[in-house]
Chain A
Amino acid sequence: MTEKLHKYVDALKNHNPEWVAEVIDALGEVTIFVPRNSIVDVCLFLKNEHKFDMLADLCGCDRGPEEEPRFEVNYHLFSTSHYNRLRLKVLLSEEDPVVSTVTGVWKTANWHERETYDLLGIIFEGHPDLRRILLPSDFDGHALRKDYPLRGYEPYSMN
C-alpha cells in the first residue's frame, strides 16, 4: 500500500542519507523524521524533484513537558499531480524550539507557522511576519502547551 511512498523515501536517502533520520510506516501513511537544519532542503527537494507542490497542513504538537524532545512540527505534503501524501516531522527541544521557515517553499506556510507560533511558541526562523494570528496580540503564554493552565494567567482569565 505504501510502496509508492517509499519511492520518495529512497529518493531522499539516495540524495542525502542525513536527511532521513527515521521512517514510520503505519496505517498506510509514511512519516519521515527530518533533522531540524535540513527541513528546508528536504522540502525544496520534494517540491521541485517530486512534485509535492502543496503543503496541505503544517501543525505543531506538544508531547508534554516531561518528554524530550518536547515539540514536533508536522508538514503534511500533497501532490496535485500524482495525488500522494507524505508527512515530514521535525523534533524540537523545549529549550530551543526554533526551526527554519518554509514560507520560501510554499507561501501557504505563512499563516500555518504563525498559528503554530501563536499556540505553541515555536519560533520559525526567517519568517517574514511572525506574530500572533488567533489569540489577542497581548496574550500571555502559548495556549496549546500542555502546561498552560486551562483558565489562563491573571489578569486575563478574569475569574
Chain B
Amino acid sequence: MGLENQIFESLPDVVTVKLDAVVNWARKSSLWPATFGLACCAIEMMNTVSARNDLSRFGAETFRASPRQADVMIVSGRVSRKMAPVLRRIYDQMPEPKWVISMGACATSGGVFDNYAIVQGVDKVVPVDVYVPGCPPRPEMLVHAITMLQEKIMKESLRDRLDTNESESRESTVPGTLPVTEGTSLERETEIEVARREVSQPYTVPSRHERRRSS
C-alpha cells in the first residue's frame, strides 16, 4: 500500500538497460576507500567520514584497512621516496576495478616539499583519477572529489576494467623495500653499487588499463 507498491505497479516486469550502466551504478554506489593516510591531509580525510560531513551519503564511508577489499585509494599527504614503493605495492594489491584520488597539494605535485626526499606528485607512481587541490583540502572538497569520481565511473565501460592475469603484473619487483643484507658493508658491495649494476626498473609494471591509457 506504500509508495513503493505504486511505483512497482507502474513499472513493467522486465527492464532492459546496458550492462555497463548497471555495473557502473553498482560500482559507484559503494566505493570503499583504502586507508592510506600519509600526513595532515589524513585528518581531513577522517573528518570526511565523520558525522558532520558523512561520506556514507555517497556510499564511500567504509574505509578498509586491507587493500584487497578496497576500490579507491585516497592518497592523503606527501609521498616520500621511501614510501613510494610501499604505496605502489598496496595499489597493486587492490583488485580491479580500482581508482586513485590524489588528495592535497603534496600528493598532487610535491607541494612545498620540492626536495630529494619527496616524490613530486603521486602520479609518478600510480595512475590518478581525481586530483584535489588544497593544503589540506576541506572535507567538502574530498566529498566533491568522490562525487566527481562517481561521475567518471558512470562513463566507463566494463572492458576498461578487466582484471589482469598477466604474470608480469604478479611478479613485479619493488626496489627499495626491506633489503636483506648479510655481513658488513665493507665486505659486500655497497647498495649503490648493487643498484647501479642492476637494470634500472620502474616501480612496477603498469597494470592493464594503465597501459591503455598511456597509449
> A-B pairs with CB below 8 Å: how many?
63
**B175 near A138: Cβ-Cβ < 8 Å:** yes
A19 and B154 alpha carbons, distance in the complex (Å): 76
**B195 near A125: Cβ-Cβ < 8 Å:** no
**A140 near B185: Cβ-Cβ < 8 Å:** no
A129 is an interface residue with CB less than 8 A from chain B: yes
Q: Which of A130, A136, A158 has the most CB of B within 10 A?
A: A136
B126 is an interface residue with CB less than 8 A from chain A: no
In B92-128, the 8 Å CB interface with A consists of 114-117, 119-121, 124
Q: Given A129-B184, A158-B120 in contact, is the A138-B115 Cβ separation under 8 Å?
A: no
Chain B residues with CB under 8 Å of A150's CB are 114-116
A143 and B81 alpha carbons, distance in the complex (Å): 13
Chain B residues with CB under 8 Å of A140's CB are 192, 195
Cβ contacts A121-159/B at 8 Å (1 or 0 each): 001010111111001111110010000111110011111
A131 and B185 alpha carbons, distance in the complex (Å): 6
The residue in chain B whose Cβ has the minimal distance to the Cβ of A135 is B82
**B192 near A136: Cβ-Cβ < 8 Å:** no
**B185 near A129: Cβ-Cβ < 8 Å:** yes
**A159 near B192: Cβ-Cβ < 8 Å:** no
**B120 near A127: Cβ-Cβ < 8 Å:** no
Among A123, A136, A149, the residue within 8 A (CB) of B82 is A136
**A156 near B114: Cβ-Cβ < 8 Å:** no
**B116 near A143: Cβ-Cβ < 8 Å:** yes
The residue in chain A whose Cβ has the minimal distance to the Cβ of B121 is A158
Q: Which of B179, B185, B200 has the most CB of A within 10 A?
A: B185
A47 and B184 alpha carbons, distance in the complex (Å): 26
Among A130, A136, A152, the residue within 8 A (CB) of B185 is A130
**A151 near B179: Cβ-Cβ < 8 Å:** no
The residue in chain B whose Cβ has the minimal distance to the Cβ of A153 is B116
Chain B residues with CB under 8 Å of A151's CB are 114-116
Chain B residues with CB under 8 Å of A135's CB are 81-82, 117
**A131 near B181: Cβ-Cβ < 8 Å:** yes
The residue in chain B whose Cβ has the minimal distance to the Cβ of A148 is B116
In B174-202, the 8 Å CB interface with A consists of 175-176, 179, 181, 184-186, 191-192, 194-195, 200
Chain A residues with CB under 8 Å of B81's CB are 135-136, 139, 156
**A130 near B192: Cβ-Cβ < 8 Å:** no
Chain A residues with CB under 8 Å of B116's CB are 143, 148-152, 156-157
**A131 near B114: Cβ-Cβ < 8 Å:** no
Q: Given A135-B82, A136-B176 in contact, is the A128-B184 Cβ separation under 8 Å?
A: yes
Cβ distance A138 to chain B, nearest Cβ, rounded Å: 4
Cβ distance B134 to chain A, nearest Cβ, rounded Å: 22
Cβ contacts A51-84/B at 8 Å (1 or 0 each): 0000000000000000000000000000000000
Question: 13 A-B pairs, CB-CB below 8 angstroms?
Answer: A123-B186, A125-B186, A127-B184, A130-B184, A131-B179, A135-B81, A138-B195, A139-B192, A140-B192, A151-B114, A156-B81, A157-B116, A158-B119
Nearest first, the 10 closest Cβ-Cβ pairs linking A and B are: A152-B116, A138-B195, A136-B176, A130-B185, A137-B179, A137-B191, A136-B82, A158-B124, A158-B120, A131-B185
Known interface pairs A138-B195, A150-B114; 8 further A-B residue pairs with C-beta atoms within 8 A, sorted by A's residue number: A125-B186, A127-B184, A135-B81, A136-B81, A151-B116, A158-B119, A158-B124, A159-B120
